[in-house]
Structures are given as structure tokens and as C-alpha cells.
Amino acid sequence: MLHKISLGTGDINKYRMVEARGTIDELVSLGEELKGLRVCHINSTPFGGGVAEMLVCYIPLVRSLGIKADWQIIRGDRRFFTITKGLHNALQGAPFEDIKKENIVSVYQNNNLANASELDPNYDVFIVNDPQPAALRHYLSQNKAKWIWRCHVDSSQPDKTVWNFLRPYIEEYDAAVFTTPKFIPKDLELAKIVTMAPAICAFSSKNMFIKRYVCRELVENLGFDTNRPLITQVSRFDRWKDPFGTIAAYKLAKMKIPGLQLALVGSFAPDDPEGWDLHAAISDEVNKDDDIFIFSNLTGVGSMEVNAFQRASDVIIQKSIREGFGLVVAEALWKETPVVAGNAGGIPLQMPGELGNYLVNSVEECAEKIVYLLEHPTVSQKLGKIGKEIVRQNFLFPRLIRDELKLIKSLVGK
């Protein structure tokens, strides 16, 4: 059988401290209607990516509503995950010529077939995340559950060959979920296609409240000078996050802010073999400047440390050139830290109004916005407060759980 992640039961009522009362009451009511329903999320890694990060807190909260929620992880070797990373990149527009090779297709299909045979089938609803396990439904065609495919990447302009390969598998699902309407491929034929933005957990170790002076002490212990400004980018080691663009923007900004420091805080995921090579390349660049630091989940910098960096930093950078959503933007805004981010994918959803003035399309623009915020701390404070309210209203778990349960309810007929 596939590995099930061991998780407990949370308490949705904690959100009454930060959410509108009606939202939590609506969730409790939906839970009563769907009580006892068996729901299983499936993805390809238990840590290191945004999906895993959400599910580790999301599943316990759904269980607290009386729903029997689980999380299963598919298996795969390096070859399989190298192929699926290519599919992931291709959905975001990168070419992937290898998909035309018969052996590449057979590796993907055989892996999904093997995982399908080991999947615990005893659920009413399966929610399959991203391209890695997308073919599971095809190999479980006799299963009577409802199947939902959730796409977390910017699939607005996918590589045509790869999309033509994946699309028949997706069209076997009962529903598909995308982050925004613009991500929905125009030729996808499915009875139910909905949009649903991701969200963050306000009470996880990554987002729980920590006093800023404690956060400053933590980053000081890691080698930073807390008397000088600090900017941070938190992301997987992924070329779409444009870490070299972030370094270039930092160098330009440092010409005007001589004491500036940069932290690059990243994570490795078992289903992303490209991360190691990119980390090595970034490290070579980091070693040229004593004021740039690189940390990862493999060197003791986990969720609590990320929380500290996001609170201790003067500005958070997320210079993505493609982005499904970018949870780190909502995380930083929740902590009232201003964000300068790439004008890409799902990031603009999180930065409307005045915050949109800090969406950038170039290295030069990124540097300019960094300098402006560092030189105008009152503007930074104002943007932080605006950002936290935007996240509170739109990007916390109760809203996401409500959206998902409404979709499930429409499929199971309860």
C-alpha cells in the first residue's frame, strides 16, 4: 500500500479568533452535511513543496469537521521524478522534447500503474495534485469514487506536446481545479472546472505569532548583522523562482544601501531532482559576497526559522518569473512584512491595490522597489498592515476548506 502520512485532528474553532464568525459557522454546517465522508489527497512528496506544506495542516482541520480525510504519497525513482519535473516545467511553458520518446512515456505510465495498484481505494473522493500522479484515475477506471485533479502551477501557456499527452488523463476526472481562470487551458473538456486559490495556516509553526525581537535574535545567531537592513527570498531551489535575478537586484540595491544583506532560504523536495544542481550554482554565486547567505531545510532551517526570517526581514522578495500562487507571499504579508514580487502567475491575486505597485517585471525594477521601501519605513509599515488584512479575508485555510467542501458536495450529491 502507498504510504499514508500520520496526522492528528486539528481545531477549526481556533480560526474564530481571526476569521469572520459566519465563515466558521458555514464550515461547521458543511461538515455536518458531509460527516463521515472519506476523502484522500494524493501527491508526490511529504515535504519540501507548497502542496505538502498545506496538507500537513489542512488534513487535521478537515478532520475536525467530521470528515475522514487522509493523505497518500505516490512512489517513484529519480528517473520518474526527472520526467515529472519536465512535465511540471512544460505545463508552465518550458519545452520538453523528451516526451516524444516512447521510453519516457512508458516510465510515466508504468509508474502510475504501479501506484494505482498500491493505492488504498476505500474513499468516496480522491483529490490528485499536479502532473506526477495525474494518470492514477486512468488506471482505476472501475473505482466508483469521485476524482478531482488539482493543478497548482501556471498552466496558462503549456507546452503543446506535453499538454496533449496529459489532457486525456485529466479529462477522465470528475472535476479539475485551477488557481485562477487564466490558468485553465482553453481546450480542456470537462464537465466541472473551478478556480480555487491556495491558502495558509495562521497557526502553523511557519505562521504563528513570534515577537520580532526573538526573530532578530535568531537571524543574528545565523550570522546576520541586525543593525543593517535584511532582505529575504524564501522558495524552493527552482529556476522559475529566479534566484539569480534576486541576487542581481540585491547587488543593484546595495549600490544605494551599502549595508544591505540578502538571505536565500530554500527547500529541497524528493520529487525535484533539479534542486540540487541549482543549489550548487546559487552557492557558487553566494560565495562571492560575504553579505549573501543561503540556507535550506537540510541545514536546520525549517518552518519556524522561515517564520523568523519573514518577520525579521525589512523586505521579502519573491522574484518569480512563473508562479502558480506563491504561498510565501501570503506568509510574508500575514506577518506584516512588505513584499516585492514578480508580476507572474498567482502572485498578483495576493497583491491588489497599493500592493500591486510592488509587482515587478525586471531586475532593475525589483532593485528600485527594494530601495524605496528601505528608505521609506512608514510606507513599509502601511503596506504590511494592508497585506495582512488581504490575507485574513482571502487566503486563510477556512476559505479554502469551504471552497473545496462545496466542490465535493456538488460531486457527491449530499
Strand ordering across the sheet containing 261-267 = 292-296, 261-267, 230-236, 315-318, 339-342, 359-360
414 pLDDT more than 70: no
Residue 162 contacts residue 99 (beta carbons within 8 Å): yes
Lowest-confidence region among 49-58, 330-339, 351-360: 49-58
- What does the pLDDT look like over 178-201, one tens digit per residue? 999 999 999 999 999 999 999 999
| Inter-CA distances, 289 with 280, 282, 284, 310, Å | 15, 12, 10, 22
| Cell reading at 256 | 544605494
Nearest to 2 by CA among 38, 43, 31, 33: 43
- Residues 348 and 341: their CA atoms lie apart, in Å, by 9
Identify the structural domains of the chain with CATH numbers, from first to last: 3-199+397-412 (3.40.50.2000), 212-394 (3.40.50.2000)
Question: Across the chain, which distance is largest between two alpha carbons, in Å?
Answer: 64
Q: How far from the centroid of its chain's Cα atoms is residue 237's Cα?
A: 13
- What does the pLDDT look like over 354-385, one tens digit per residue? 999 999 999 999 999 999 999 999 999 999 99
**DSSP calls for 213-248:** HHHHHHHHHTT--TTS-EEEEEEES-GGG-HHHHHH
Beta strands in 151-286 (DSSP E): 175-178, 193-195, 230-236, 261-267
The pTM for the full model equals: 0.95
Name residue 124's amino acid: D
